[in-house]
Each structure stands twice: as structure tokens, then as C-alpha cells.
Amino acid sequence: MKWFHELRNCDLGVFAGVAVDAYRKLHAEGRISKPTEFLYEISVLLSKRLSGREDSASIRFEILLAVSFELGNGRADYVNAMVGPVVEELVISDKWNESMVDRLAEFGFSRPTHDVAKQTVGESMPEDTVERVEWITPIQAESSSGRVVILTALDDEFDAVRALHGIEDDPESTLPGLRTASRHPSKDIVIVCAGGQGNVRAALAAQKAIDKWSPGLVLLAGTTGGFRSEYHDIRILDILVPHVVVGYDQAKITPEGKQYRLKVAEVGVNSYSIAEDAARDQHWIMRSSYATALGERMPIVQFEGATLSGEKVVADDAEVARLHALWENLLGTEMEGIGMIMAAYTHETRPEALLVKSICDMADVAKDDLYHKSAESLSAAFAYEIADRWVTKYQKVAKKTTTYTDVLNIPDKNGFWDSVNDVEAIRLANILHIRQSEVSTFKQGLSLGVLDWCERHHKVGDLITAVLQEDRLDLLQYLVTPED
């Protein structure tokens, strides 16, 4: 974009003026309606331009103060969102001075003196800590169902999934008290609305849906607040697919601060892998109807991180900073994930669980609804893509494994042994729930150990199911005879 190129190369002395002019042109052309995301882009660009400079924070303070005041028409929330984090950075690094206080006063804002400001962020304040962490690891079911439940919290999120794929609402009697929609005639993809935000609602809705449809995967779709991160270039409209979800509502309140008792749940391994494959093939994004956030790239799917899940809507920079201390590599925060996952993992059918949420704001004081519709559409498109791939994979597996359930012996062990390396054998052992203590006794090779274990425990049919789940159709010739 022309304006972005100009700001990247202009003299820093005229940066603020160029930025204001660029915003006004974009606003006049109808390409942007609010300055929120534009200001964030400016902040990121400045940080990159000034990276490594000793005076980086002081220059950013001057420029962001002028630009945010001008574009926000003097509103304190816009100025605080942009300038507040820089002020704290200056205070912590002992570079905050009286001239900066005077500079704020010129714009009509007050700020404590250096000593008082330092005390506000100093170590004398109560400190939040993590008292304990409870890990919740999924136990994979013996076989995965080829059906998917897509759960949403709100009606708008539900409608985004339903309308995007031309699915009509089910009759009210399908699941009393909840809106549902099913892909006909097979009902292999079912959409359920929890009827409101929160982990309790999500857990109850997920439990009812699992009881009725016995899915192999429960997938939570919708919108979320994103966190700026040192590990990821996170933008509004990016899709978060975290590998863990951290419930943080339980805590003990003490005079020394809040002591969190975290519940940390891993998402499903197979569904996460399907999501990674789907993200590489971006045709799904064309199904969504979205207006891209201001920037130089399209929305992307963010993996390899954690998402917080609690009963709070976060719209405060200071709170985000506190939450960052709870867990490393946070992508964002939402309100239904841990409830949905707990319902899935404690159910007797043990379906997998996965979160697919698109960022509608950055959980700061500039939070608004500008990107809600676009985020709902993107999450709906990617969630449905994952669901469709799951159905295709596991319905195929289900059809093929019905032929082999009575297999008792393995006709060609040597052929299997030659074709399966140790890494693949360990994956099969994990799918079959072979204990690590037993795997360690497989002295003649891991693949032969897995074969012998399956024969001893009459699990040859389960081994064939595991092989099909791993898409190793070439191995069937060693496990079954033609008459099987």
C-alpha cells in the first residue's frame, strides 16, 4: 500500500503528519471507519523502524501521542491505548522524566511524577502468581465417529456457520432449549448454539449435543480477543487454533495477591493435525465474507500457542499485561473453551475437542464491534472446512474397518516390520493405548512388539483401524488376507 510505503521510508520528523494525512485519505475513500486498527499498525511499524535504538521509547511516545490525539479527537481511551504501554516502558527503564509529564499536560492529560509513576508499577504492589496447574489430557476413544458438532456461544456466530453453508435451523424438538442446524440427510455436521457466553453454558450445551449425536469431534467456533505477542505477528481477523486452553477463573485471594489455580487442557491431536493441513490450503477463506483488517496481509491461522478461557470480557491493557504473566506464549482470551473441552473429555464417548476462533479485537481499551461480522465469517469458514475434512476421513475409516473387525492373526509380520519405522510404531502404540511400560519391553523392534501385543490382546482389528487413521493403506496387505 502506498501510505504504508511512505510511512516506512519518511523522515521521523514528519511521521506524525504523514500518518494523519494517510488516515484521512483512507477514511474519505470509505476504506476505514475507525482509527483503532490504523493506530495499531502505526505502533507496530514504529517499533520495527526504531528497533535497537536507545531512544526508541521516547520517540514512539512523542509520535503516538500526537497521532492518537489527532485521530481520536482527543479521546482519552485512544491515547491511553497507544501511549500507556510506552509510558510504562519508559518508567520501568527509568527514562520517564518531567519533560514527558509536561508534554502530556500540553495535550490536556495528567500523569504522576516520575517517583509516583514508578511506585505504581513497582514491586510493592500485590503480585499475582500461579499456585498450581492441573493438566487435562484427552484420552482418545477406541474409534472415532465420523460426525462433528460445531458449537457456538452466540446466535450471530451460529448464523454465520449456518448461513455460510446454506443449512436451515432444525425443529425446536431436536435439542430442547438450544438452536441447532444439521447437514442433511446424513446429519454428519451439526451446529449447536449455547445461547450465551460463558464456560458453564458451553459445557451444558456440549454435553447435551454429545449425548444426542455421539460426535468424534466437538469444535468451538466464534470470535475472540487477541493478544499482541513477542512470538507471533497477531492481527485482528487472524484465526486462533491453540494447542492448549488455559482456564484461569479458579484462584485464592490473599494479601500478597491472587494465586491462580489453572486448568490446562490439550486439544485433540487428530483434529489439530487436520486444522494444520487445512490452513495450508487457503481456498476455504474464499467462502467467507470479510473486510480485511488494515494491513499488508490476509488473515492467517495462528497455531502453537495457548488461549485463556474465563468468565471475563477483557478490554484493558493493564489486565492483558497481568494475564501474560500466567502462561507463556498466549494468543488471546475467550469465554467458552475450557467448559466445552471438559464436557468432551469427561464424557464416556471421549470425543476430541478443538477451538477455532477469529480475533475481533485486541482486548484493549480501543475494543469495538467493527470487525465482529468479519471475524464470525472467517471462523465459520475455517471451522466448517475442518469439520468437512474430519467427516471425510473418519467415515472412510469407519466403512473400511467394519470388514476387519473379526481378524485374529497377522499373515505377513515381516512385511509390516520392514514397512514401519520406530516413530510410526510409537504413533500406532499411542493410538492403541499401549502403556509406555509395555512399549519399553518390545526388545525385537517396536513394530514387531506392537504386532505381538495386538495378537495377545485380540486387538488386530484395532490395529487395522489405527493404520487407516494414519492413512497407511499400503500396510493392509500385511495385516489381512484377501479373503478377509
Residue 86, exposed/middle/buried by CB under 10 A (0-12, 13-18, 19+)? buried
Residue 217, exposed/middle/buried by CB under 10 A (0-12, 13-18, 19+)? buried
Instruction: Enumerate residues 6+ apart whose C-beta is below 8 A from 95.
Output: 57, 58
- The pLDDT of residue 297 is 74
Q: pLDDT tens for residues 259-288?
A: 999 999 999 989 999 999 999 987 888 878
Q: How far apart are the first and last CA of the chain?
A: 62
CA separation for the pair 340, 42 (Å, rounded): 37
Q: pLDDT tens for residues 334-366?
A: 999 999 999 999 998 899 999 999 999 988 877
Report residue 431: phi and psi, to 5°.
-65, -35
CA separation for the pair 116, 12 (Å, rounded): 31
Could you tell me if 60 and 40 are in contact, meaning their C-beta atoms sit under 8 angstroms apart? no
- The pLDDT of residue 402 is 47
Cis peptide, bond prior to residue 185, ω within 30 of zero = yes
- The pLDDT of residue 415 is 85
Which is nearest to 193 in space by CA: 210, 181, 211, 185?
181
- The pLDDT of residue 121 is 37
Tally Cβ neighbours within 10 Å of residue 460: 20
Instruction: Enumerate residues 6+ apart whose C-beta is below 8 A from 441.
Output: 449
Please count the residues of the chain. 484
pTM: 0.62
* Regions of the chain where pLDDT drops below 70: 1-4, 33, 37, 77, 110-127, 139-144, 173, 184-185, 290-296, 396-409, 481-484
**How many Cα atoms within 13 Å fall on the side-chain side of residue 33?**
6
- The pLDDT of residue 292 is 53
- The pLDDT of residue 430 is 81
- The pLDDT of residue 481 is 64
Three-state SS at 75: coil
Cα 172 from chain centroid? 31
- The pLDDT of residue 324 is 85
Instruction: Enumerate residues 6+ apart whose C-beta is below 8 A from 245.
Output: 264, 265, 267, 306, 307, 308, 309, 337, 338, 341, 355
Tally Cβ neighbours within 10 Å of residue 175: 19
| Counts for the chain of helices (H) and strands (E), in that order | 19, 13
Print the SS3 string covering 381-421.
Answer: HHHHHHHHHHHHHHHHHHHHHHHHCCCCCCCCHHHHHHHCC
- Find cell 475434512 and name the residue: 389
Could you tell me if 6 and 18 are in contact, meaning their C-beta atoms sit under 8 angstroms apart? yes
CA separation for the pair 224, 312 (Å, rounded): 12
Three-state SS at 243: coil
Phi-psi region for residue 237, left (φ > 0), alpha (ψ -120 to 50) or beta? left
CA separation for the pair 407, 387 (Å, rounded): 31
- Find cell 451446529 and name the residue: 191
Could you tell me if 223 and 360 are in contact, meaning their C-beta atoms sit under 8 angstroms apart? yes
CA 444, 445, 450, 455 torsion: positive or negative?
Answer: negative
Instruction: Enumerate residues 6+ apart whose C-beta is below 8 A from 99.
Output: none
